[in-house]
Chains A and B, each alone.
Chain A
Amino acid sequence: MNKLTRLELKRNSLKPYHIAVSIITVVILSFLYLLAAIPRMDAADTDAEMFMSYDFIVGLDNIVSMAVFSIMSAAMASKFIVEEYAGKRAVMLFSYPVDRKKIIDTKIITVFSYTVISMLLCNGISLTIFLVTESLFPLCPDTIDIGLILNCISSMLCYSLSAGLLGIISLWFGFRKKSTIVTIISACIVVSVLCQVIAMTLFTRFVLIIILAVIFLTAMLAWTSLRYQIKNMEV
């Protein structure tokens, strides 16, 4: 598997994704400061009180990050997988004496791992910078304690895994049509629905765990279906 991953990365450059992740990190950091500053912009607005809690700011930041990274994951999956199995490229891929299932597993694991790790890094860096500056020059009246830090870490992990899994689900839709556009649009639709559901629950932990479990099961079904399709694919 290591050899296949290495070959996958040799064939497909990660440079554009590194650039995208760097830009997203800057945007997410700015977004955190914007959320923290909302109550100061309009002190009379009672709805702005929600933004006086770090838990709410972090929750909102996570959900936006998940949406962005799910779409990035779908774009990456379309490049690494959908395009490679469409048309003449598939002939080349199937001409290698390597089990078809191993190749698709490597590709999915590569995209999933990159999504999860890059989202963890992006949010880890932006939240660290945000919380350090908040402890020195606070915009938000809430207090920073160990409970908040632990909540940041656990929720970041959950949302990062969700972003990676949502990429696999969108890939399934895109693969059926062998279309990059369908893959990315599917990611946008799935993530919009999911973000609405999570926002309505006000980031309740129990609901988040249920949602993560459902996403996990759906992604595993999508993965199994992709393996089956590729094993029986004729080009």
Chain B
Amino acid sequence: MSNELAVSTKQLTKTFSGTEVIRGCNISVEKGTIYGFVGKNGAGKTTVIKMLLGLLKPTTGEVAVLGLNPAENNLEVLRRTGSLVETPVFYEHLSAVSNLQIHLEYMGEDDTNIEEILKMVGLVNVGTQPVSTFSLGMRQRLGIARALAHKPELLILDEPVNGLDPVGIKEMRELFLCLAKQKGITILLSSHILSEIEQIADRIGFIVDGIVVQEISPAKIRENDPAGLEDYFMQIVNGGKVNE
């Protein structure tokens, strides 16, 4: 696998109770880019993401995250990666700052300015307010802050803009672009909001029934299909445009 790739998988499979849910999945994410991961509900996005983080073990196939195998070098992969998987959970009785302090201590990082990180994700004036009182959008912002707090090289975000209002979505879009383009952080994110993916991703991977059927840039999509990503996505999930 290339050294220039932050994430790559080769013929990755995952079987649960005899059912193969990921079937020979190949993805490649170049360093410093934003990779959009799209597919219908149940297509296998979260399962692939969990295998990248070592939370699930692949049944067969190869995975490399920052040049490491997450199953063998799990702690190193986790140290260098920030993640948000499914709906983020927190220590509900504690404040946003306390939650981040605990996270940073586990991560072994002590020179992070927590206030700055919270400001970066738009969580201001939350003071000592416990997380249990946060709205869905605030929790999502805090989840992103936690993924960013320990200064990772790679961000793996599973539906990070879920629950955010249009202002929040725009702010996160600008933040992700800034992190990738100015700080060189690689971002792999899944989302159902296709317009967002289209605006920020350098490359988009389409997963259908456990197989990544296509990896393509948004520019190429516009060339092939002037109607845009939504139309293209519909064609792919309905069985067309596979492995072009």
Using a CB–CB cutoff of 8 Å, the interface residues on chain A facing chain B are: 3, 7, 10-11, 13, 88-89, 91-92, 94-99, 234-235
Contacts and interface: CB of A to CB of B under 8 A. Distances in A.
Given A11-B91, A96-B78, A97-B79, A235 B50 contact: yes
Given A7-B102, A10-B102, A13-B93, A95 B83 contact: yes
Contacts of B239: none
Given A11-B91, A95-B55, A97-B107, 6 more contacts: A10-B102, A88-B89, A91-B50, A95-B78, A96-B106, A235-B55
A94 B55 contact: yes
Contact of A91 (B55, B74, B75, B94): B55
B76 A235 contact: no
B54 to A, nearest CB: 8
A96 B54 CA distance: 11
A95 B138 CA distance: 21
B87 interface: yes
Interface of B: 50, 53-57, 74-76, 78-79, 83, 85-89, 91, 93-94, 98, 102-103, 105-108
Contacts of B76: 97
B55 A97 contact: no
Nearest to A90: B55
Contact of A98 (B75, B83, B98): B75
Contacts of B91: 11
Contacts of A95: 53, 55, 78, 83, 85
Contacts of A99: 75
Given A3-B105, A91-B86, A97 B53 contact: no
Contacts of A234: 55-57
Nearest to B80: A97
A89 B56 CA distance: 15
Contact of B106 (A88, A91, A98): A98
Contacts of B78: 95-97
B57 A96 contact: no
A81 to B, nearest CB: 15
A96 B106 CA distance: 6
Nearest to B143: A92
Contacts of B98: 10
B75 A235 contact: no
Contacts of B57: 234
Nearest to A92: B89
Contacts of B93: 13
B107 A91 contact: no
Nearest to B50: A235
Contacts of B79: 97
A92 B94 CA distance: 15
B57 to A, nearest CB: 6
B15 to A, nearest CB: 12
Given A95-B53, A99-B75, A234-B55, A89 B89 contact: yes
B84 to A, nearest CB: 9
A27 B75 CA distance: 47
B126 to A, nearest CB: 19
B112 to A, nearest CB: 15
Contacts of A7: 102, 105-106
Nearest to A235: B55
A97 B102 contact: no
Contacts of B56: 234-235
B107 A88 contact: no
Contacts of A94: 54-55
Closest 4 CB pairs of A and B: A96-B106, A97-B79, A97-B78, A97-B75
A88 B93 CA distance: 17
B86 A97 contact: no
A98 B105 CA distance: 11
Q: Which of A3, A13, A234 has the most B CB atoms < 10 Å from its CB?
A: A234
B190 to A, nearest CB: 15
23 contacts: A7-B106, A10-B98, A10-B102, A11-B91, A13-B93, A88-B86, A88-B87, A89-B89, A91-B85, A94-B54, A95-B53, A95-B85, A96-B78, A96-B106, A97-B75, A97-B76, A97-B78, A97-B106, A98-B106, A234-B55, A235-B50, A235-B55, A235-B56
